[in-house]
Amino acid sequence: MIRLSTWHVPGAGAVTRTTGHRNDAPKPQKRRKLCVFIDISSDLEAALIDLSLPAWHLDGSFLAPTTIERYRTAMRATPRFTETVTTLRDALTREGGGYAVLRLGNLAKVLGAGDRFRRLVTAFAAEVAVPFSPFPRWPLWKDVGVKINKDPGKSSGIGYNAFHMDLVNATLPPDYTSLLCIRRDPLGGGLSILSDPHAAVARLPEDRRALLAESSYYYGNFFDLFSVGEEYKPFPILNGSDPGEGFVRFTAKMLERSKLGQAHAAAAQQLADELVRGQISFMLQPGDYLIVGQRRFLHGREALHSGQEAVPAADRRLLLQLFLRAPAGDGSGA
């Protein structure tokens, strides 16, 4: 039987904020939120340790259908794989769901973080949606490491990475963003944070929601990208869909890095505050694979612990990022 670990994780408490986060922003609420981690069974682990999948091939930006079929055939022959995938999909698509952490730490310990392990994780991802890379200059899995001299608020920086959706300014953003933990911060920082933007929007007054629905928001550059549509500029944060549906096109970074009108900036700031109030947080362990439905949750990261300069580059926190595109009509909202 699949071990489905569910427990209540309190919203992040007093964590030091760094560049990119207002010091007077409200603290997360103390209410407790449900967090789901999926442990695979020991017999599935044993079978996957012995399984060697072939190298993947891409069809343009996407994992090739022939690769998906080969992976699926091999994985479905292992015990409890189908049951595990059903549990994973349910966590991502059920009402109130939208994210899941597949715990593959034992596999990572045995196989390491190289090609064999990454192919197994890719096979799990392909059961959720189609893996693809929007960045032609990077491989399918993109490294998200730690760069001391990088902008602290960026994903590879050392500071607070505020709530956002990936490729917010594309007309066709990825339906899912996913992160595979290879190494956690050895100093203990870098909690992953998630928040439900639809719930946050519902707590806003009507006049703020009206401003968020106007095409008055900008963020980021748009060049050398594949399979994510065209540049969306300006864009509305709310797209007029029924509550709980559609993207909430938000990144808190727009508050400092884009020229927004005063009223629209105030509405976006209030949404940012509500996202912090409703956030959940947890620490990804090596081998944990986090999948986030971008139509249901925004994500970010607390600051890494101070002292990163003293940590050798090869020992610093390392995640791998993979984007997924849901086939049309699969019920994910894509």
In the prediction, which pLDDT does 18 show?
A: 32
Per-residue burial over 159-179, b if 16 or more Cβ lie within 10 Å, else e, is bbbbbbbbbbbbeebbbbbbb
Query: What does the block give as tokens for 261?
Result: 């009108």
Task: Kindly give the confidence (pLDDT) of every residue in the chain, 334 residues in length, as a single tens digit, with 9 standing for 90 and above.
Answer: 454 544 334 333 333 333 334 445 555 554 434 448 999 999 999 999 999 999 999 999 999 999 999 999 999 999 999 999 999 999 999 988 999 999 999 999 999 999 999 999 999 999 999 999 999 888 999 999 999 999 999 999 999 999 999 999 999 999 999 999 999 999 999 999 999 999 999 999 999 999 999 999 999 889 889 999 999 999 999 987 666 678 999 999 999 989 999 999 999 999 999 999 999 999 999 999 999 999 999 999 999 999 999 999 999 999 999 999 998 755 454 3
In the prediction, which pLDDT does 12 show?
A: 33
In the prediction, which pLDDT does 13 show?
A: 32
Residue 48 in 3-state DSSP?
helix
Query: What does the block give as tokens for 95?
Result: 């009402």
pTM: 0.90
Cα distance between residue 331 and residue 317, in whole Å: 35
**Of the candidates 216, 194, 206, the residue with the CA atom closest to the CA atom of residue 270:** 206
Query: What does the block give as tokens for 286?
Result: 């090596």
| Tokens 């926190």 -> residue | 317
In the prediction, which pLDDT does 331 show?
A: 47
Q: What number of other Cβ atoms are within 10 A of residue 264's Cβ?
A: 19
Domain map (residue ranges) of the chain:
3-8+32-325
Architecture of domain 3-8+32-325: 4-Layer Sandwich (3.60)
Strand partners, 289: 102, 180
Cα distance between residue 319 and residue 214, in whole Å: 35
